[in-house]
A and B are shown apart, each in its own frame.
Chain A
Amino acid sequence: KQEVTQIPAALSVPEGENLVLNCSFTDSAIYNLQWFRQDPGKGLTSLLLIQSSQREQTSGRLNASLDKSSGRSTLYIAASQPGDSATYLCAVRDGNKLVFGAGTILRVKS
């Protein structure tokens, strides 16, 4: 059974810092991996999608990497801003379903 773990569970940083969120999964047979952000009381916004054959994807200040063989992904956020404060969720596509981690709650202080 696929399990996804995210570390840390919560993170508080001052504005401007670069930061890394970690995601690990137990079964490397995945189609792809997605990073989402969720603001309080809202749905999920897709940030980046990495296919199983890819190593990384970039969008603006965000960079996600994937090491499928070791079951790890990282989300790098450069020059963090208060507006980046949210819960970040990692999910792997396992068969027809997404399996989610518990998320990292990020707070960027101004």
Chain B
Amino acid sequence: GAVVSQHPSWVICKSGTSVKIECRSLDFQATTMFWYRQFPKQSLMLMATSNEGSKATYEQGVEKDKFLINHASLTLSTLTVTSAHPEDSSFYICSARADSSNQPQHFGDGTRLSIL
């Protein structure tokens, strides 16, 4: 089945550091990729949607200068958390979907980000 690889799975870093998370679709071309954030014991919160080669569309309340998204190819999207602070600590999950209205979304295993 379709696989989405997310890396790294766990990051611990100091406040003020920028952190990049990669999301790759391994066996299909992902026209659309999504980035979610999940707080403990809560469901997923969509942060932004990106289409290959165009700017990401951010959800209301998500700072686009804080969370930089690049979807440079049909198999790779990156999320960079710039100048991270403790309140950015969370579980970030990427998702990818091939282009078609009837295709499922596939999810990565998530990245646990801890800012000290």
Interface residues of B (CB under 8 A from A): 1, 4, 6, 32, 34, 42-44, 46, 49, 91, 93, 95, 101-102, 104-110, 112
Interface residues of A (CB under 8 A from B): 31-32, 34, 36, 41-46, 49, 51, 89, 91, 93, 96-98, 100-103
Residues of B within 8 A of A96 (CB): 32, 49
A-B pair count, CB < 8 Å, reads 51
Name the residue of chain B whose CB is nearest to the CB of A105: B41
Question: Is the Cβ of B105 less than 8 Å from the Cβ of A34?
Answer: yes
Interchain CA distance A42-B107 in the complex, whole Å: 10
Shortest 7 CB-CB distances between A and B: which pairs? A44-B107, A43-B109, A49-B104, A43-B107, A43-B110, A100-B43, A102-B43
Residues of B within 8 A of A42 (CB): 109-110
